[in-house]
Amino acid sequence: MDLISTISGSLMESFFPAGWDLKRIDACVDPDPSTVTRRQPWWHAQFEPVPCQSLTDFDTMLGHEIAMTIRQSRDAGEKLILILPVGPMGMYRWAVFFLREWNVPCDHVYGFNMDEWSDAEGNTLPASEPGAFQNAMEEAFYGPLGDLTVPESQRHFATKEVLPTYPDRIGELRSAGAKLAVIFGIGRVCHIAFWEPHFAAEFDTEDEWKAQTHRIGAKLHPLTIEQNAITSFKSRTTLVPAYANTIGPGLFLGADKIIGGADGVLSRGMMWQGLSLWMTLRHEPTPWIPSTYMPTQPGRLFFLEELAGPLVAECN
């Protein structure tokens, strides 16, 4: 007896994205957690999943990867476009530490926040509000870098006015030789940024889906809202906006390098990201599961080993 055998006629029957095959998704999980890094045919030759034993290891290793990417681009005399998430966040402290320790100026870096909370029309919180992603980035990354920081004119945030300019701004930088690194987390329903799986129903072809660069006032899946209630709002679902401005696959699938993180472990064996990690690594790429495209690009996905399982039912 499980969800698949009891879903018919239940309130869950139309809850998941229409393109999800629950049996196929369940089959992504291997009873042996050590197999989670086993290479799949569609992975990029330079994609690597990196297990981390502890949250401290995770934050440090992910932060080091970000800082090293910034340093290497500077040493190469290249401009660097960073698409940046607010979540996970612990790595920014370590990225700042390494950049300051190495005395690496970041005036060659162009930051583009991948998303921001909004209403249905795309209006966002004032940048000074504690819940605004711009505020979080200023406090966690740009501010602590001090005199090494990214110039304010090179910081871009996903507001209603600025997000639609991302494709042209990034395109111009790329035409001038800039490299693009996409830093990301994986959502409960396997979104990247707030590009949700149910958007797939709107497009006739995969190519059309892949061409989408952004969306203003994107309608969020209920599991995305509840994920953020747990991780960011101390369980107060009523505080979580139902919409967000977000980049799309037209931007997050064009990376020279990806730097991903999955740290969704809670406590006492509880977690929210275990199945999402297995789906990302084991399910063949499909617009119905956006994160499945990330392993098709070069780079690394850092994850807490505990997320790989074993994923078994327990009574808590």
pLDDT tens string for the chain (316 positions)?
999 999 999 999 999 999 999 999 999 999 999 999 999 999 999 999 999 999 999 999 999 999 999 999 999 999 999 999 999 999 999 999 999 999 999 999 999 999 999 999 999 999 988 889 999 999 999 999 999 999 999 999 999 999 999 999 999 999 999 999 999 999 999 999 999 999 999 999 999 999 999 999 999 999 999 999 999 999 999 999 999 999 999 999 999 999 999 999 999 989 999 999 999 999 999 999 999 999 999 999 999 999 999 987 665 5
Phi/psi at 259 (nearest 5 deg)?
-135, 100
Within 8 A by CB and 6+ apart from 150, the residues are: 106, 107, 109, 110, 111, 142
- In a 13 Å sphere around the CA of 278, the CA atoms on its Cβ side amount to 21
Query: What pTM, to 2 d.p., does this model score?
Result: 0.96
Query: Which residues have CB under 8 Å from 267's CB, separation 6+?
Result: none
Domain boundaries, the chain: 47-308
What distance in Å separates the CA atoms of residue 254 and residue 296, rounded to the nearest whole number?
A: 11
Q: 208 to each of 17, 202, 222, how far by Cα in Å?
A: 19, 10, 25
* Third-level CATH fold of 47-308: Rossmann fold (3.40.50)
